[in-house]
Amino acid sequence: MKITDSNCKFVQGVLAGEDIEYTSRSLKAIAHPVRLRILCFIGDKEVSVKDIVANVGTSQSNVSQHLSVMRAKEIVASKKVSNRVFYHVINSTILQIMGVGKEV
């Protein structure tokens, strides 16, 4: 049987039930050392860009570029409070892969 996107379903593990195209886009979006450091720092919390910059070890411009990529791929979401921007991970599969998500 030829494997296609329509008949390829993850049945076990953290990817169980996930759409293959969505999973591929998500994994590509986090496949960068700086993005992985950002995600490790955010974890299951909501944190400011200032705190991310202070803990990830790169410039605010660089952090903002990586957050923009992950926001476009629906990995993280942002919330503006006054003059600060806070980010949190919205992709539960990514949280599970990182080991900080709730069990499904």
pTM of the model: 0.81
Domain boundaries, the chain: 20-98
Class of domain 20-98: mainly alpha
- Confirm if 41 and 34 have CB atoms less than 8 A apart: no
pLDDT tens for each residue of 34-87: 999 999 999 999 999 999 999 999 999 999 999 999 999 999 999 999 999 999
The confidence band for 10, taking pLDDT boundaries of 50, 70 and 90, is low
